[in-house]
């Protein structure tokens, strides 16, 4: 009887992982393959603007897949709480399911994910059949990947984006609210105060301050990665959470070495096993077991 009840529940796939593990790419590929729509669960990407600093997927990268809760909060100072996410994400999942599509929830804010799944006495988990795919890698590989990610963001315009968003009237605690919490904004503050407010643009000074800001962004991003991994490990022990860990170390090591992504390696180490497990999940079969903690 319990198995039959589980079979009748609507399916929801969650893509978990630390920053720079390829969650967005996988979520979009899954949605495209299984007739789904992506629901963003990143607490900074819910805000409009700052596409480089928040690393939002581009229209081209979305490949026509509908996305929800991405850039939907227009006020940068508003706090989009875990309770807000529970309400809005639950409604988005219901809309996607009403169209006969597969909801694919993806993002790095695991507090949001836990709030959705376990909120209001675990109502969501009781009412939905959930599969959690965890993209993970060795910590040293993740550290090097975050550094490569930040360098790429700098090349794509992180500094100009931070400059455009900079307000000289901001105080330190202003960077603890809303979109201003995004890693990349508070770290750039000292640099921007020197070159924008004080108009001191001596080349040596400016380059030194910028280099220090970029290194701080890298350090803080890896600090976030450690928190994300610890949180996912804890969530994987919760009752009723079917968390499947996919080891991406070999793939991400190439990225960390500056060699870029290898599509064939991604297909073999990420896409094929995940496609297989999601197909089995959608078809109410047991998925192929993968390495787990």
Closest CA to 105 of 221, 23, 227: 23
Render pLDDT for 185-230 as a digit per residue (tens, 0 to 9): 999 998 998 887 666 555 557 888 899 999 999 999 999 999 999 9
pLDDT at 200: 54
> What pLDDT digit, counting tens, does each position of 15-52 carry?
999 999 999 999 999 999 999 999 999 999 999 999 99
Condensed to tens digits (0 to 9), the pLDDT of residues 100-124 reads: 999 999 999 999 999 999 999 999 9
Give the contacts of 128 (CB within 8 A, at least 6 positions apart): 9, 10, 11, 12, 93
Confidence of residue 288 (pLDDT cuts 50, 70, 90): very low
Q: Where are the alpha helices (DSSP H) in 80-166?
A: 82-98, 110-127, 139-155, 158-165
Q: 240-272 pLDDT, tens per residue?
A: 899 999 999 999 999 888 776 689 999 999 999
The domains located in the chain, with CATH, are: 2-142+232-282 (3.40.50.300), 144-222 (no CATH)
CB count within 10 Å of CB 291 equals 9
Q: Residue 5: which of 221, 288, 284 has the closest Cα?
A: 284
pLDDT, one tens digit per residue, over 204-213 is 578 888 999 9
**Residues ≥6 apart with Cβ < 8 Å to 52:** 153, 156, 157, 158, 161
Angle at 278 between CA 277 and CA 280, to 5 degrees: 65
For residue 122 the two structure tokens come to 């675990």
Beta bridge partners of 246: 135
Q: What's phi and psi for 53, nearest 5 deg?
A: -65, -40
pTM, two decimals, is 0.90
Q: Is the pLDDT of residue 287 over 90?
A: no
As a whole number of angstroms, the distance between CA 101 and CA 257 comes to 38
């Amino acid at each position: 009887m319990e198995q039959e009840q589980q079979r009748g529940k609507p399916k929801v796939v969650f893509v978990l992982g630390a920053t720079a593990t390829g969650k967005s790419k996988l979520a979009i590929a899954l949605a495209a393959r299984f007739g789904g729509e992506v629901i963003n669960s990143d607490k900074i990407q819910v805000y409009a603007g700052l596409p480089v600093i928040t690393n939002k997927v581009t229209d081209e990268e979305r490949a026509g897949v509908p996305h929800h809760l991405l850039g939907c909060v227009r006020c940068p100072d508003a706090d989009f709480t875990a309770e807000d996410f529970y309400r809005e994400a639950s409604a988005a999942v219901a809309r996607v399911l009403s169209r006969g599509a597969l909801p694919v929830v993806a993002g790095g804010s695991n507090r949001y994910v836990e709030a959705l799944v376990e909120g209001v006495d675990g109502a969501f988990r009781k009412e939905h059949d959930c599969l959690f795919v965890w993209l993970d890698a060795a910590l040293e590989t993740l550290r090097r990947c975050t550094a490569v990610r930040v360098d790429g963001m700098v090349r794509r315009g992180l500094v100009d984006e931070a400059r455009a968003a900079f307000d000289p009237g901001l105080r330190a605690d202003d960077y603890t609210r809303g979109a201003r919490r995004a890693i990349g904004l508070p770290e750039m503050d000292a640099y921007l105060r020197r070159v924008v407010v004080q108009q001191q643009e001596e080349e040596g000074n400016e380059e030194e301050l910028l280099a220090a800001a970029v290194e701080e962004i890298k350090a803080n991003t890896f600090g976030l990665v450690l928190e994300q991994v610890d949180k996912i490990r804890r969530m994987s022990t919760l009752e009723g959470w079917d968390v499947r860990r996919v080891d991406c170390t070999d793939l991400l090591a190439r990225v960390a070495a500056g060699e870029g992504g290898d599509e064939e390696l991604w297909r073999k180490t990420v896409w094929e096993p995940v496609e297989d497990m999601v197909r089995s999940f959608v078809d109410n079969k047991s998925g192929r077991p993968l390495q787990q903690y």
